Structure 1
Amino acid sequence: MKFLTNEKLTIVGAAGMIGSNMAQTALMMKLTPNICLYDPYAPALEGVVEELMHCAFEEVHITYTSDIAEALSGAAYVVSSGGAARRAGMTREDLLKGNAEIAQQFGKDLRRYCPEVKHVVVVFNPADITGLITLVYSGLKPSQVSTLAALDSTRLQSELMKYLRLPSSDIRNCRTYGGHGEQMAVFASTTEVQGEALTKIIGSHRMPPEDWNALKMRVIQGGKHIIDLRGRSSFQSPAFLSIEMIAAAMGGKPFCWPAGTYVSDHQFDHILMAMETTITAEGVHYKEVKGNLDEQKALEESYVHLCKLRDEVIAMGLLPEMKDWHTLNKHL
């Protein structure tokens, strides 16, 4: 049986709904026969492993532990959903302090136990900030750490599919950038519908402007809608997309949806945010985002919102001042 790699993949937070789904997805996609599941809650973790063993996956070696040193040692790839989940009535930002503390320790653990790790995907919210904290404390290169952001773009595609009654193959290059939160920038200018620019459809009989505005709001509130419907936050979609990200880092099909990546250039500074990215075996790389004036303004506003969250974390003492980041991570 052919796997993408034989190297160790560690899933952090594997007893949770996202983590357990990530584990099953990774096994179904045949990423590696060497998979380690970690969670501090041992009984639930053992239950997840029991279920995976009952699936009768062939030629795989599943290990599990509640010892983070054992989990991370020798890991070439790590995906973490190991933060608190968003609940009804909460925004992603409401999770800031607690999950920032978890991200700080996670970054330190990566540095200590698997400094040779090739790629890390951070999933837990607010992912832009937890990913940034992880990067700073891990000492890894920016190309080695990415965060889940594609979910907003896939939600845009889904809403357009429902509204226009078209299959996903007819709707291309749906994009949201900036923060993975309610301050995201939803772009129309990148999207093509059956080869036609979405911007030409908006304002026509096919999609009045008020319908586009309502659709954008459904995208922005997509996570909240799942909580309203199911009583808990998303787990199937973030699990699948994050495993697609790590599969790309292993040398599989390149991941070409937006991902959260570290940005420090002439436009944005010392931040981690969703950009136009590609993930390959060489890591995550981004290029400049271009949109119309309204879209660029929305992206700037999203960036300002993320900077405020970053500065809150600095004020909490969970990140040093930006001028001192290089003392923890020479790559920044």
Structure 2
Amino acid sequence: MVKAVVLGAAGGIGQPLSLLLKLNNTITELALYDIVNSPGVAADLSHINTPAKVTGYLPPNDGLKIALTNAHLIVIPAGVPRKPGMTRDDLFKINAGIVRDLATNIAKYSPNAYVLIISNPVNSTVPIVVEILKKHGVFDAKKVFGVTTLDVVRASTFTSSVSGANPQEVRVPVVGGHSGVTIIPLLSQIAPSYNFSQEDIEALTKRIQFGGDEVVKAKDGAGSATLSMAQAGARFASSILNATVSGEAGIIEPSYVHLDADSVGGDQVKNTVDGLDYFSSNVELGKNGIEKIHPLGDLSEYEKKLLEAAIPELRANINKGVSFVAESKL
């Protein structure tokens, strides 16, 4: 039995994400939780002819506890979406409390699950989850992931519009964090290789870093990147399942993780990023989660400057998440 849980399943990301997970044949049970509408979403999805049994839960009657119990994989898109003029950092005040409370329940009822965090700002919400799990004595660095896959998906899409390559075949390592200048696309390491002009590099980098703003603006106040984020989240969840359930080897995805997950690779990255505890790098997945954190590799001079700009921003984001838990009444 492979149970997957979506926390925030009735929202703009949660519904399409739940649909995509229902289509994953590795999942045998799909539990959906939200403060409203999750039983209706579950009923709708349950008519789809794939193996996963779908159930929906609300807060009353221990709904969250039941949803989380025996989970293999938990995906958290819960929280409010970004609106025009709102930065990811503006989301912190609202989403931090939501993520803290969900993490507390994960620690109690599903401490061994793989936890995939989508709720923004990811640079801060991942440290919040980690600090809560630490307080309960159940933190495993190999099992907690900040989902940055949308940055990778955007990088493949945007670069292919310049290179002419098939976007499904393009791989761009995107490292750092998951907001603005902390997003560092390593275009020098793109595969298949392509020599962009410096003008293209700068334009593509900015578009990848601030791609979310395009969607927020285009939706004119009606939401943020929900469909593309759902696809990216489902893709990363599928990679986790392929590695941990199916035993597939050699799966590498960038993800924002605690660098203690791999003492060798993590220390190498730490040395490159001025001792940060969290950073997104290419992560190799295995039967128990993170098997290896890959070093950043050779960076161009432009990428080194991007890294230099990202580090202080990331440090502030991380400290914000850690401080939030330290100051919270749990």
Distance 1:170 1:69, change over 3 A: closer
Question: What is the alpha-carbon distance in structure 2 between the residues aligned to residue 314 and residue 142 of structure 1?
Answer: 15
Residue matched to 2:196 = 202
1:308 correspondence with 2:316: yes
Asked if the contact 1:129–1:272 (Cα under 8 Å) also holds between the matched residues in 2, the reply is no
SS in 1 for 2:174: strand
Distance 1:319 1:298, change over 3 A: farther
RMSD: 2.3
Residue matched to 1:158 = 157
1:50 correspondence with 2:48: no
Question: What is the alpha-carbon distance in structure 1 between the residues aligned to residue 111 and residue 211 of structure 2?
Answer: 36
1:288 correspondence with 2:281: no
Asked if the contact 2:71–2:110 (Cα under 8 Å) also holds between the matched residues in 1, the reply is yes
Residue matched to 2:93 = 97
1:37 correspondence with 2:35: no
Distance 1:202 1:126, change over 3 A: same
Counterpart mapping for 1:1-332 below 5 A:
6-41=1-36, 44-54=37-47, 56-66=48-58, 67-117=63-113, 119-138=114-133, 139-168=138-167, 171=170, 173-183=171-181, 184-193=183-192, 197-198=193-194, 201-203=195-197, 209-230=198-219, 231-250=222-241, 251-252=245-246, 255-263=251-259, 265=267, 266-267=270-271, 268=273, 269-284=275-290, 285-290=292-297, 291-315=299-323, 317-319=324-326
Which sections of structure 1, spanning at least 5 residues, go unmatched?
Answer: 1-5, 204-208, 321-327
Asked if the contact 2:5–2:71 (Cα under 8 Å) also holds between the matched residues in 1, the reply is yes
Identity of aligned residues (%): 22
Deviation at 1:225, TM superposition (A): 0.6
Letter aligned with residue 222 of structure 1: G
Question: What is the alpha-carbon distance in structure 1 between the residues aligned to residue 25 and residue 282 of structure 2?
Answer: 27
Deviation at 1:141, TM superposition (A): 0.8
Asked if the contact 1:261–1:274 (Cα under 8 Å) also holds between the matched residues in 2, the reply is yes
Distance 1:270 1:70, change over 3 A: farther
SS in 1 for 2:252: coil
Distance 1:277 1:58, change over 3 A: closer
Which sections of structure 2, spanning at least 5 residues, go unmatched?
Answer: 261-266
Distance 1:300 1:89, change over 3 A: same
Deviation at 1:314, TM superposition (A): 4.3
Asked if the contact 1:248–1:281 (Cα under 8 Å) also holds between the matched residues in 2, the reply is no
SS in 2 for 1:115: coil
Question: What is the alpha-carbon distance in structure 2 between the residues aligned to residue 112 and residue 211 of structure 1?
Answer: 49
Question: 4+ runs of 1 displaced by more than 4 Å?
Answer: 252-255
Distance 1:72 1:30, change over 3 A: same
Letter aligned with residue 229 of structure 2: P
SS in 1 for 2:108: helix
SS in 2 for 1:319: helix
Deviation at 1:293, TM superposition (A): 3.2
Q: TM-score scaled to structure 1, two decimals?
A: 0.83
Asked if the contact 2:2–2:72 (Cα under 8 Å) also holds between the matched residues in 1, the reply is yes
Q: TM-score scaled to structure 2, two decimals?
A: 0.83
Letter aligned with residue 196 of structure 2: I
For 1:55-113, what per-residue CA distance to the aligned partner results, in whole angstroms no more than 9, with x for missing partners?
Answer: x3244321111121111112121111112211122121111122222222222111111
Tell me the matched-pair count: 301
SS in 1 for 2:215: helix
Asked if the contact 2:23–2:50 (Cα under 8 Å) also holds between the matched residues in 1, the reply is no
Moved more, 134-143 or 235-244: 235-244
